[in-house]
Each structure stands twice: as structure tokens, then as C-alpha cells.
Amino acid sequence: MNISHRIEGNCQLVKLEDSRLDAQAAVDFKAHMDRCLEHEQENIIIDLSEVDFIDSSGLGAMVSVLKRVGSKGSLVLTGVNEKTRKIFELTRMDRVFDIQQSPEDALKVLAAA
């Protein structure tokens, strides 16, 4: 899976560049996020604007990241389209994740926290 990564202030901005976060992509995603979690910036924004399909494995990988971030920082998702949001709603994970419209919105939320 192609993933871009940049640091902004105390945040890591991670953008998934492929359209699918499925069982196969979840392996790469988790490995990448393992490396992110070694950085000192503990707030993470994951931009899903290019992602058009998430299955339960992809969702499980994001839950895993959320648990690892824990109380040390915050994890915010952005760019969740109508189709992928449905997966969060069906599993009630929309109540667990902080979902913002854009990375800019997420940065504002994290700055205000």
C-alpha cells in the first residue's frame, strides 16, 4: 500500500494513497503505523480521502492503531467518504473514532485540545 507521511507540529499526517484498505493492505498499513508510533509526535491524523473501500480487516487495523495510541496522544480520521463511513456506522465504530472533515479541521481540533 502506498502511504505518504509528514510531520506538522506535534502531529503526524498519514495519507493512504490507495483506494482499498482491505485484508492485504492492512498488513502494510499496520507495519507503517508501527513505525509512526515510534516517533515522538503522538498525535496522528489519518487521511482516508483516497480510500474508497474498507473491509473489516482494514477497520480492525485502525482499531489496533487507536489502541496503541491510547492515552499518549490522539488519533483523528479525515476524508471519510459516504461509502467508507457506512462501515464505521454499521460496526458502531463511528462512536469510537474522532472523524473530522479534513486534515486542516483535525489540526484545529488537536490544537484546541
The residue ranges that bind another protein (CB under 8 A) are 20, 22-24, 53, 55-57, 59-61, 63-64, 66-67, 70-71, 83, 86-87, 90-92, 95-96
C-beta closer to another protein: residue 26 or 103: 26
Q: Tell me the C-alpha distance between 48 and 73, whole Å.
A: 19
Helix (H, G, I), strand (E, B) or coil at 92: coil
Q: Which conformational region is residue 10 in: left (phi greater than 0), alpha (psi within -120 to 50 degrees), or beta?
A: alpha
Q: Tell me the C-alpha distance between 19 and 56, whole Å.
A: 15
C-beta closer to another protein: residue 56 or 101: 56
C-beta closer to another protein: residue 24 or 102: 24
CA 108 to chain centre: 16
C-beta closer to another protein: residue 38 or 71: 71
Shortest distance, position 91 Cβ to another protein, whole Å: 5
Shortest distance, position 21 Cβ to another protein, whole Å: 11
Shortest distance, position 6 Cβ to another protein, whole Å: 26
Q: How far is CA 106 from CA 9, 25, 93, in A?
A: 13, 24, 18
